[in-house]
Every structure is written in structure tokens, then in C-alpha cells.
Amino acid sequence: MSIEHRDDTGARFGMWLFLYTEVILFSGLFILYAVALMKYPEQYSQASHKLNIYFGSINTVVLLTSSLTVALAISAIQMKRIKQCLTLCWVTVALAIVFLINKYFEWSAEISHGIYPGSETLAEMGAGVTSFFNLYYFTAGLHGLHVFIGATLIAVVAIMTAKGKVTSERYTLLENSALYWHLVDLVWIFVFPLYYLIL
């Protein structure tokens, strides 16, 4: 077993360990959500209807597409198609930016209607609605931060690939960045139905 292979194995193991801690973090938030939903079922349904399902649906399509492009980027580098790999990486970054811009406009609309943590409007709607939006803003905000970090990682890897530091023989950095990005996508797959699709 070569030193390079051991290094790659260690890097992959380290990333999976890190992703495990991230899963625990978001699982904790989803457990809090489940407990609060049991306590305020009607208020959570009422609050969910105040979210814009179109923004949420567009962002779901954007993230699913970005997971595909970053997966294809790995296949491209394995086949030594560097230009194709770079294109797919930058498309993934562009989709991440679209997601964040979309989220900015969504939050701007909600805030303009007085729906944000600590607002009088929210307080008047009751404890259940307030609980919903407090969790929504924290969870979606934390997820948005992960989107930004993931896009930055992929951009850095793309630059390294262009410089020849990431190659078809040594692409663990791209692989790990893609794993992180898939986690970001997976978290949103839970966030979208839990917050936007309550009946």
C-alpha cells in the first residue's frame, strides 16, 4: 500500500467522520422540530402556509441539479476530461449562488411582512407560530451557511484542478467536496417538506 493511498484513505475517513458530526447537528434540529410540531400542530400548519412554496420548490430543483453536476465532475476527472470537470464544478458553484440569491429574496419578502424572530407581528401570531419561524430561520440559515462553505470548497478545488494539483490520479479533494455537497443537498431534502409542505 503506497503512502498516497494511505493519505487518501485517511482523508476520506476524516470527511466521513466530519459528515457524521454534521448529521448529528441537523438531526438535533429536526428532533426539536418534531417535538414542537407535536405540541403546536395547528400553529405549525398555519405558519407553514406563510412560506412561499415556489421559492422552496425552485431551490429544491437547483440543489438536486447541483448534486448531479458535482457527481458528473468526479466522473469527468476520472476519465481525464479536465475541462469538462472544471465546467461542471463551476456550474455547481453557479447553482449554489442561485440558491443563495433565491433565499435572499425569499427572506426579504418574509421580513418585509414582519415575519422574523423577535418581531411584534410574529409575537401576535402566538407561541406555536413563533416557535416555527425561530426554528425555520435558524435551520435554513445554518443550511445556507453550509451552502456557502460547500460552494467555496468546490470553487477552490476547481482552481486547484486548473493548476494541475487535482488530477485523475489524485482527486480526493474533489471527492470529499462532493460528499460535503451531497450532505447539503440531503439536509435540504428534509428541510423542504418539513417546513414548506405541512398540510
Q: Which domains does the chain have, with CATH numbers?
A: 3-196 (1.20.120.80)
pLDDT at 6: 47
Q: What angle do CA 185, 171, 76 make, to 5 degrees?
A: 75
- The pLDDT of residue 7 is 58
Instruction: Supply the mean pLDDT for the chain.
Output: 93
Check pLDDT > 70 for residue 128: yes
**What is the DSSP track for 120-157?**
HHHHHT-HHHHHHHHHHHHHHHHHHHHHHHHHHHHHHH
Residue range 84-108, pLDDT digits in tens: 999 999 999 999 999 999 999 999 9
Q: What does the pLDDT read at residue 46?
A: 94
pLDDT cut 70: percent of the chain above it? 96
Is residue 13 packed enough to be buried (19+ CB in 10 Å), middle (13-18) or exposed (0-12)?
exposed
Q: What is the pTM of this model?
A: 0.91
Q: Per 3-state DSSP, what percentage of the chain is helix, strand, and coil (rounded to 5)?
A: 85, 0, 15
Nearest in space to 185 (alpha carbons), one of 82, 94, 96: 96
Q: Give the pLDDT of residue 5.
A: 46
Burial class of 95 by CB neighbour count within 10 A (0 to 12, 13 to 18, 19+): buried
- pLDDT surpasses 70 at 1: no
pLDDT at 3 over 70: no
39-72 residue pLDDT tens:
999 999 999 999 999 999 999 999 999 999 999 9
Grid cell, residue 155, equals: 470553487
Give the model's confidence band at 131: pLDDT under 50 very low, under 70 low, under 90 confident, else very high. very high
